[in-house]
Amino acid sequence: MDRQNKDSLVENLSAAALLGLLALLVASASFLVDGHDEKREQEALATLGGAKVSGKALIASDSSFRRVYPLVRKGRILYGTILAIGDQRGKARVAAIVTADGHVDSVKVLSVVPADAPFIREGWFTEFVGKGGDDAFPSNRGDLRRPDTVSAATDSFLETQEAFSRLSGYVTGMAGTAEGN
pTM over 0.85: no
Question: CA-based angle 15:18:24, to the nearest 5?
Answer: 140
- Cα dist from 45 to 1, 27, 68, 122, whole Å: 63, 26, 10, 21
Model confidence at 143, pLDDT cuts 50, 70, 90, reads very low
- In the 8-state DSSP scheme, what is residue 132? B
Report helix, strand and coil shares of the chain as percent, to nearest 5: 45, 25, 30
Per-residue pLDDT band at 18 (split at 50, 70, 90): low
What are 59-110's pLDDT values in tens digits? Answer: 998 999 999 999 999 999 999 999 999 887 788 999 999 999 999 999 999 9
Contact 83, 166 (CB under 8 A): no
Q: What is the pLDDT of residue 23?
A: 52
The secondary element (H helix, E strand) that includes residue 29 is: helix 3-49
Model confidence over 24-49: pLDDT tens digits?
Answer: 445 444 433 344 588 899 999 999 98
SS3 54: coil
